Amino acid sequence: MSAGYRELLAPGRRWLLAAAGGASFVAASDVLLVATALPSAARDLGGLDRYALVVGCYAAALAVGLPISGAVIDRYGAWHSLVFGCALFATAGVLAPFVPAMEWLAALRLVQGFAAGFLLAVPLSVVVQRIPKDLQRPAYALSNSVWAIAALAGPVLGAVLTDLLSWRAAFLVPVAMTAAVAYAGYRGLRDPDVAPADPHARIHPLGPLLLGATVAALLLDPRLAPLPAIGFLLSEWRSSSPVFPRTRAGRAVALLCGTAGIAFTGADGFVPLGLQVGLGWPILVAAIPLVGTTAAWASGSFVSARLPLSRRTQMALALAIVVVGVGLMGLPLLDGRTLAIGIVVAAFGMGIQSPVALLSSAAERPSGEGRATASVPLARSIGGGIGIALAGVIVVGHVGQAALDAARDQHDGVPAIADAVQRADLVLAGLCLLSLPAVLLLRREDRA
């Protein structure tokens, strides 16, 4: 272990890092665990056409929870965000196994997505606000490794529980973790000697609510999306505490992270559907690419800390890798295995982007790091919601409602679904590529 990591893991920081890592662990394991179990839930509840709605509701609510939690952390501290997120997340998780229809599951995932926003903001703010600057890069790498361990376990647990018991059992595992995380937060985050970053920070829910409403409208009826989208832009323009840093570089980071989210999250959200329902892969085999994405993301984060490149160059490299990976997923080669290979490649690019995006965003809003760092996963979440909604429209439009209904009872694979997922991936990769020139708006002096 290097001297930097030994200093980072000194006794005085262990509970602090346990709380931050635990928040990541719950959120990361839940996302991939549920992703693995969701195709089985959709078949059981008769709602394959509602698959995108369940996945997208989580992203829509995350877009609301993240910026609000960032302001809560700046004003009150990370403990308040953690305990609220754990309580709300656990409550919805206990109810999820008993839902009678996909619409009910979507509503509970909406609640859990909002709670996850409060959990995911904790590790980001802990690193920026409580870790010395010379230890922040290894702290981000350590945080990503904890996320990676959780995400490695998520698909495996989801596959095993769904295969041996039921998809309903898979929803209960993250709930059991929240008590331990809350205890770690009690020990590590309730420090009276640590003052909030900005005791006078104002919490403006209007902008986040309009963002969430935009993503929700895209999922339900895209014709309704322009109204809340315009409302958000007006709110963001007039707000004294905007959701995204109000600088050229800050907006560029948000755009690049958002389009990466469109491509990666939109593609990743449909990997289980494409492999399990489209190609007929057994659930345990279909979980392997999701495990691979976690390892690739963690590897990318560690590589990012060692690249002797400017932040501008590193962001360009990361986005290019995401485009290549998602584009590869769209190629009808290797009997559909490109879906599994390409998502791993794209995850490596997302891992490279993460540390540099967080540091670049934090530099754009001094004394408001909680809100600034929360804007990175927020931009990805918004992009992810857009990507999921767009992919859902393409899949349903290409396959047709009748074929989706018939697929409920087919277990040998429905090639039309795999083909539709790949078509959607090509569109998502193209949209991501269009944002590449935005790297020129980043600060020249920033170094990774």
Report residue 310: phi and psi, to 5°.
Answer: -65, 160
Q: How confident is the model at residue 448, as a pLDDT?
A: 46
For the chain, the farthest-separated pair of C-alpha atoms sits apart, in whole angstroms, at 62
CB atoms within 10 A of CB 10: 10
Quick one: DSSP state of residue 46?
T
With contact defined as beta carbons under 8 Å apart, do 25 and 177 qualify? yes
Q: What 3-state DSSP class applies to 201? A: coil
Rounded to whole angstroms, the Cα distance separating 118 from 73 reads 9
For helices 51-76 and 206-220, give the axis angle rounded to 10 degrees.
170
Instruction: Render each residue's pLDDT in the chain as its tens digit; 448 residues.
Output: 455 556 556 556 667 777 777 787 887 777 777 777 888 888 777 777 777 778 778 877 877 787 777 777 777 777 778 888 888 988 988 898 888 888 888 888 888 888 888 887 777 677 666 666 666 666 666 666 666 677 677 777 777 888 778 888 888 877 878 888 888 777 767 665 555 555 565 666 777 778 778 777 777 777 787 888 888 778 777 766 666 766 777 777 888 888 888 899 888 888 888 888 878 888 888 878 877 887 888 788 778 777 777 778 888 888 899 999 999 998 888 877 888 899 999 999 988 887 777 777 766 555 544 555 567 777 877 788 788 888 888 887 777 766 666 666 666 677 888 888 889 999 999 988 888 888 777 766 544 4
- With tokens 């967080």, the residue in question is 358
For residue 446 the two structure tokens come to 């920033």
Nearest to 244 by CA among 374, 77, 114: 374
**Angle at the Cα of 27 from the Cα atoms of 24 and 28, rounded to 5 degrees:** 80
Q: How confident is the model at residue 447, as a pLDDT?
A: 47
Q: How confident is the model at residue 193, as a pLDDT?
A: 54
**Global model pTM greater than 0.85:** no
With contact defined as beta carbons under 8 Å apart, do 67 and 374 qualify? yes
Rounded to whole angstroms, the Cα distance separating 287 from 141 reads 24
* List of long-range contacts for 11-17, beta carbons under 8 Å, 24+ apart: 13/131, 14/188, 15/184, 15/187, 15/188, 16/126, 16/130, 16/188, 16/189, 17/126, 17/139, 17/142, 17/188
